[in-house]
Amino acid sequence: MMRLDILTIFPEMFAGPFNYSIIKRAQDKGLAEINLVNIRDFALDKHKRVDDYPYGGGAGMVMMIEPISRCIDHLRLERNYEEIIYMSPDGENFTQKTANQLSGCKNIMVLCGHYKGIDERIRQTYITREISVGDYVLSGGELAAAVVADAVIRLLPGVLNDETSALSDSFQDNILSPPVYTRPAEFKGMKVPEILLSGNDKAIAQWRHDQSIERTRERRPGLLESDE
């Protein structure tokens, strides 16, 4: 079973993403445990303050070092973590390869920043990996953490009803998924490709591969170049 500890000041934000569909199924099956940890519970004052003004001036607030440090230290007393991840716009780009790597971990901690970010000393002392879900800025790391959790947990053995489904997803082999169809075989004059109705598994597999390559060449040619 994978355990995912998510450190946040807004645990309520995860109620929707984690209580439905595949992520809920993984938890119900006992294949994944998601533990939401409120950083405010480790604040130093009764007001549960977790932010302060930045040294050197400037707009915005910075998440304080003490509450985060106390929170991480508390959790590390209970278990060892293969990765302590900080969701940050200047982290490494999150890819399917990264999700595959993380799916092999047993214990992962994810820190969600907010405001103008976290005290740099946390990044220097505790963080083993920084991950970004894109070259843009969100209000906090919560939505990004939910994306990472979804991408990783769905890869755990037993989570998907069809174990081979994840293997055919886009980006698994640095190519995009082929087009897919379902009934009816004809809709408003648009027909499903005859090859998919042929029953010839080998020919269908080759068609799908060719379609994946063609779609990748048209839409994301950089993926093919990076695989060379």
Average pLDDT estimate for 41-51? 96
Q: Which helix (H) or strand (E) holds 122?
A: helix 120-125
Closest-CA residue to 36 (of 61, 11, 57): 11
Parent domain of 57: 2-153
Q: What is the pLDDT of residues 191-211, one digit of tens each?
A: 999 999 999 999 999 999 999
pLDDT for 105 equals 98
Q: Are residues 10 and 110 in the same domain?
A: yes
CATH number at residue 196: 1.10.1270.20
pLDDT for 75 equals 98
Q: Are residues 37 and 6 in the same domain?
A: yes
Q: Are residues 134 and 44 in the same domain?
A: yes
pLDDT for 140 equals 96
Domain final residue pick, 88, 123, 153:
153
| Per-position DSSP letters for 22-76, written without gaps between them | HHHHHHHTTSEEEEEEEGGGG-SSTT---EEPPTT--SS-EE-HHHHHHHHHHHH
Q: Are residues 144 and 174 in the same domain?
A: no
Instruction: Tell me the C-alpha distance between 120 and 200, whole Å.
Output: 58
Alpha helices per DSSP H over the chain: 15-18, 21-28, 65-76, 96-102, 120-125, 142-153, 201-219, 221-226
pLDDT of 2 over the 70 cut: yes
pLDDT for 149 equals 98
| Percentage of residues in the chain having pLDDT higher than 90 | 89
Sheet architecture: strand order including 2-8 = 32-38, 2-8, 107-112, 83-93, 129-132
Q: Are residues 86 and 146 in the same domain?
A: yes
Q: What is the pLDDT of residues 167-186, one digit of tens each?
A: 556 556 788 989 999 999 99
Q: Are residues 207 and 134 in the same domain?
A: no
Residue 160 lies in a domain: no
Domain final residue pick, 153, 181, 203:
153
Residue 109 lies in a domain: yes
Residue 159 lies in a domain: no
Q: Are residues 58 and 14 in the same domain?
A: yes
Q: Are residues 63 and 88 in the same domain?
A: yes
Q: What is the pLDDT of residues 81-129, one digit of tens each?
A: 999 999 999 999 999 999 999 999 999 999 999 999 999 999 999 999 9
Instruction: Tell me the C-alpha distance between 204 and 206, whole Å.
Output: 5
Domain final residue pick, 98, 128, 153:
153
pLDDT for 228 equals 53
Tokens encoding 71: 């929170």
Q: Are residues 10 and 117 in the same domain?
A: yes
Residue 20 lies in a domain: yes
CB within 8 Å of 110: residues ≥ 6 apart? 4, 5, 6, 7, 85, 86, 87, 141, 145, 148, 149
pLDDT for 225 equals 82
DSSP symbol at 200? -
Tokens encoding 51: 């932010």
